[in-house]
Homo-oligomer: A and B are copies of this chain.
Amino acid sequence: MKTLQKDDINFICELNAPCFQALSPDEVQLVKSSRTQVQFRKGDNLTKQGTFASYVMFMVDGLAIQYVESDLTKSYNLRIIQPGEFIGLSSVFSANTFSYSSVAITDCHVFLVEKTAIAQIISSNGIFGLSLIKRYSEQNVNLYDIIRKVLYKQMNGRMAEALLYINNIKPKYPDIFQILTRKDLADFAGISTESAVKLLKSLEKDHILELNGKDINILDELKLTEICKRG
C-alpha cells in the first residue's frame, strides 16, 4: 500500500485546511499535479464576477476581499478571504462563471486547482466530499445571514456589524483597518462612503471607538454589539 511521502506531507501541511487531510497519496498527487501557483499583487483581482470559472482557488497566503458588483459602479463586500480558504467553490459546479469578484488587499499566494481534479477526488473520496460539503454549508449559512443583514438592518446596525467583523480579524492582522479605505468599510456595511464617515465620527463622539488616522480601535465592544443587534 502506498503511503504519503515526506514531500506530500509538507505539501498538505502548507495547505493547512482540514479537508486535504483526508486525501490518499494518489489524490495528493492529483492535486499537486493539477495545481498552478499564482502570485497576486495588492489591488489585483483574483476573480471577476461573470468571468469563466474552470478552477477553484485556494488561498495559501495573503488577504483578499470578496464582493459582489452591480452593473454600475457599486460594490458590496461580503467577507475577507484568509489563508486556508477557497475562492470560487460556490459556483464552480453549477454556473461556470464566478458569481462574485475578489481583490487582493495584500500580496497573495494562491493555488488554482482545476475543477475536474476536484470533482474526480470528490467522486472517489467521500470523506473529502463531506468536508467540502461542510464548507458549502457554512458559506450558505453565512449568505443567509448576509441577506438578513441587508434586508432588515439599517445604517447603524450594519456599520456596527461590519466593524465587529473586521475587528475580529485584527488580532491576527493588526494593520487590517489601515489597509481598508472608508469606501471599503462603507461597502462592508452596504452604505455610502459619506454615511460611513459620519457614522464613524458619531461613534467616536460616543466613545465607542477611537479613530487614529485610518486605524480604528474599538473601545466599547459591548455597546457596538448592542447596536448591531438592535439593527
Residues of A whose CB lies within 8 Å of any CB of B are 68, 70-72, 74, 76, 78, 89-95, 99-100, 119, 122-130, 132-134, 136-141, 143-148, 150-152, 190, 231
- Copies of this chain in its oligomeric complex: 2
How far is A151 from B132 in the complex, measured between Cα atoms in Å? 28
Task: Please name all residues of chain B whose beta carbon is closer than 8 Å to the beta carbon of A133 when the two chains form the complex.
Answer: 93, 122, 129, 132-133, 136
Smallest Cβ distance from A126 to chain B, in angstroms?
A: 4
In the complex, the chain B residue whose C-beta lies closest to that of A119 is: B130
Interchain residue pairs with CB less than 8 A apart (11): A70-B148, A74-B151, A94-B137, A99-B141, A99-B144, A100-B144, A123-B129, A124-B126, A133-B133, A143-B144, A147-B147
Contact A123 B130 (CB under 8 A): yes
Distance from A98 Cβ to chain B, minimum over Cβ atoms (Å): 10
* A70 vs B151: C-alpha distance when bound (angstroms): 8
A148 surroundings in chain B (CB, below 8 A): 68, 70
Kindly state the separation between the CA atoms of A70 and B144 in the bound complex, as whole angstroms.
12
A132 to chain B: which residues have CB within 8 Å?
129, 133
Is the pair A92, B137 in contact by a Cβ cutoff of 8 Å?
A: yes
Residues of B within 8 A of A93 (CB): 130, 133-134, 136-137
Chain B residues lying within 8 Å of A99, measured Cβ to Cβ, are 140-141, 144-145
